[in-house]
Amino acid sequence: MLESSKAAIDLDRAANVLKLLGDKTRLTMIKILDNHDACVCEFVEIFKTSQPAISQHVRKLKDAGLVRETRRGQWIIYSLNKDSEYFPLVKDLLLHLPNQDFRLKELEEQGLRISCE
């Protein structure tokens, strides 16, 4: 595909997005969200870290417009924001990363995923 046929993203903002994705936890989150929506409590289990730490990560992703939140009862479900101007960039990026479905599978086996649905 020709470069000119892509919507070029301002370098400043592209760098900011890449900085956000330049964190192992957030990058993994985005890769997971590429296949499945997820809530904070699931991420807490997956990353074995504190709930505030997770909340702060998803907030950054949300502030940048990369993810969206939808309240479902007590839970807030996060999903990739396909309308983001960065979505095409993110999508291309994710193609280079290994699938992370096994992480949610592990949760299901422990009966921890069902709790959020």
Partner DNA sequence: TTATTATATAAGCGGATAGTTATATATCGA
Partner DNA sequence: TCGATATATAACTATCCGCTTATATAATAA
Q: Tell me whether residue 41 or residue 89 sits nearer to DNA (CB atom).
A: 41
Q: Which residues 36-75 are close enough to bind a second copy by CB under 8 A?
A: none
Q: Other C-beta atoms within 10 Å of 54: how many?
A: 21
Least distance from C-beta 72 to a second copy, angstroms?
28
Separation CA 25–CA 83 (nearest Å): 23
Whole-angstrom distance, CA of residue 61 vs CA of residue 22 = 12
Which residue ranges make up the site for a second copy (CB under 8 A)?
A: 1, 3, 6-12, 14-24, 27-28, 31, 88-89, 92-93, 95-100
